[in-house]
Structure 1
Amino acid sequence: MNDGEAPRMPERRVLLKAGGTVLMSAWLLGGCSHSQGVDDPLRGPDRPTPHARFLTDAERRTLRALVDRLIPAGLEPGAAAAHAEDAIDALLAAFLTDPPLIYAGGPYSDRAGAARNDLARFIPLDEYETLAWRLVIEGSQGRPEREFNGPVIGLQAIYREGLAHLDARAAELATGVLPAALGEILRERLADTPLSDVLDLVNALTGTETFADLPALLRNVIVFDDSDAKVRALVDVAFLDTLDGTYGAPEYGGNRDLVGWTSTEWPGDVQPRGWTAEQVSHRDPPGPFDALLPPPYGGGDAPRGSGAAAPLVIPAGESLTAAILDAQGSLAALRRRLDVAARVRPEWIWRAHHG
């Protein structure tokens, strides 16, 4: 089984359509005034903000192998093609740059006619924002001024410890130590993958492999092991960061060559060019799967009783958005909610022929 054939996490198109507006629009906000050659607190400095690195080369390699499993390549490019690991590393190193790599400026990039890319010029943080984001990224580190609500483990520690644990789990596989929940992982998470496929790959290991050296199937076995609290803690954080790095603005370090946008047919930021009157007034040309959607989602209007379209079951977008929010950042919780959402319920049934 190669990377392209490996089973996927929850369908990225489902997540993107349900919550993509939140993921990809926050960075579009920015100030409206600008003086060329002068730093503007609303638009960032008059120079692009550099990216820094926090992780070692070995850690970045492990992280790249992880994001490749969280959003694997298939019919479209995945997180590895988008270099989502670069965006994650840039976030971990946010305070190694000045200003910190947190809030991209605005209002425009240079992708739609603007003279310069304001999004590449990050906005300085005030004192409150600096403390809040240092807590998120660096943690409290035992400092009294940061532990007013108790100790906080930052993203840097979560990633550093989690990536080391992935490599440790890879070394364990060579000794024949497999997850206790392997049968459940193969049955429910890896589409009934035969145990023999796993054992054949394990028997071929030499004991020198890191997580990045493992074949995709064995990396999936580790990533999907919800019984491992350390793996779960890392994946819960890394999955959302991988979504951002794959589908967010490239100024944050990911979405290389805009593959996250082109693969989902999202046009990206179009200001200041904007849309023509015709584009605003008429629907987009139909795509290959649009006929499967009901009319409010851009599908065709099948005549009543024509039999031209079969009944279609779709989860309501509001339900999917609620599932993402209710999961509170936990990928395991999100998967459980999506499993429930996939079951047929009357309020989710749409009959395209209105019969």
Structure 2
Amino acid sequence: MRVRVLVLALLLTACTSNEPPEPAPAQSNSAPAVQKPWDPRDVDELPAAADDVAPGLPARVEPPDAAPTLATKPLSAAVLSVDRRDGRIQLLGVDGSWREVRLPNPHGRLALSRALLSPDGTHLAALLDDGIEVWDLPTGERSRLSLPARFEPWDYSWIGWVDDDALLLDDLKAGWRIDTITGVADAVPYPAGMSFGWTLDDRGAVVEVDDPAEGDVLTDWGGGVRRYVDMSTTGRLSSIQARGDTVVGTSYDDGEFAVYDADRSDLSPRHRLRVRDHQGNYSNWGLRTVRILDDGSVLLWVAVPSRRSDVDGWRIVRWVPSTDRLEVVTTSQGDPSEPMTFASDLLD
């Protein structure tokens, strides 16, 4: 009872005092509000992106059951390729039409998900057990590149376009730069053998995540000089992209899945998109980076498992790191388990 009386007396004194009230303490703006994790299952509730965002991508992508062959009906350029389960690769032309080519020996050890469009969308390359097939889309012609004599394949061998006329191929020990016109292959020290994942930046430089046994280190060959960058500030990155002074990638650090936009020099995070990782769908397979656009926004590929656990296609989502705005660029009811690649230069 004495406590209640004392509190009441203090309240009455405060109300009757002639002293002006003390000003409230200033609010600090240094600590931003905690962002609520985005739930990708709600992707279709996002607004649509403007037409000039990734203008090479249509608003809807619907792979047909069948399409004319590239050999009989060449294509000026393609913005998207889809590896169908039966060994066909379907190509979405910049004019909205579809073509397809068939992989020789599509069930070989290295043939799965190895088709890749060149940056300008005029060539398609596929890594096979016994060579590299390259299709010239404007003519419909196919050529075969031999694998280097000392090439040592492994389960995750991969190819990437350095530019529109050269490929980078990794093997168990290091890499090979292959001229697609002459077929000449030169040994290069990147990417490192058994790298956890690698990408090529907008100038053709390799950025790779080292083997987990070597620690959480990103190796950056920008400028032609190898530089090691510690990943402790972001956690171990996957699905990396690099452009200019920026690296983006996904990370499952401290039990939370997120997409990071980081300074390339030291991987200090600039922005983080927290993602609700329902049943591990997104960290395991259902979300990956596609491209850092010229304006600094990021394109994400997102599978759409419904709340009933079946799958309802995929989406391309644009994330604007500076504002955390999310918007849908492209929707598709296509099978998200079928690998696809994009012609990177046609997305800006």
TM-score range normalised by the length of the shorter chain: under 0.3
Greater share of strand: 2
Q: Bigger relative contact order, structure 1 or 2, given CA contacts below 8 A and separation 6+? A: 1
- Structure showing greater radius of gyration is 2
Q: TM-score, normalised by structure 2?
A: 0.27
Greater share of helix: 1
Q: TM-score, normalised by structure 1?
A: 0.26
